[in-house]
């Protein structure tokens, strides 16, 4: 039996391709020799997904790995928002800012910086942005 994720992917593909139930079962029979997606194994599920791609289905890319953005208190939300905007503009993850916090202040995460440190980190990101052709 295949994972729930793969099963969901197959049903999403069926829906997005607009296949009728008969067409869907014909694809399953032709590519994997089964009449139901629940009968698929890890060996033949790839054939079915490949056939759906050939028919025009485009799976969504996997989410980027990384940590969630911090949830600062209201007093620091504005500065943290600017930090996030600078990171986004430069195409960098939160881990980059965490690394800067570690190098600049020996603090592991941006979330744990005090107000002054957060302000200085934001200024460093602005300088970095200007160095790499940003408008500040």
Q: What is the mean pLDDT of residues 39-52?
A: 90
| Most distant CA pair in the chain, distance | 65
pLDDT for 116 equals 94
Q: Do 44 and 94 contact (CB within 8 A), yes or no?
A: no
- pTM here? 0.52
Q: Do 43 and 1 contact (CB within 8 A), yes or no?
A: no
Output the average pLDDT for the chain: 89
């Amino acid at each position: 039996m295949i994972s729930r994720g793969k099963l969901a992917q197959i049903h999403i593909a069926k829906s997005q391709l607009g296949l009728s139930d008969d067409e869907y079962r014909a694809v399953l029979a032709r590519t994997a020799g089964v009449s139901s997606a629940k009968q698929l194994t890890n060996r033949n599920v790839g054939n079915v997904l490949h056939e759906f791609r050939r028919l025009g289905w485009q799976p969504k890319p996997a989410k980027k790995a990384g940590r969630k953005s911090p949830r600062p208190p209201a007093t620091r939300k504005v500065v943290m928002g600017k930090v996030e905007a600078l990171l986004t503009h430069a195409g960098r993850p939160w881990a980059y800012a965490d690394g800067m916090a570690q190098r600049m202040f020996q603090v592991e995460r941006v979330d744990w910086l005090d107000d002054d440190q957060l302000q200085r980190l934001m200024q460093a990101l602005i300088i970095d942005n200007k160095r790499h052709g940003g408008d500040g």
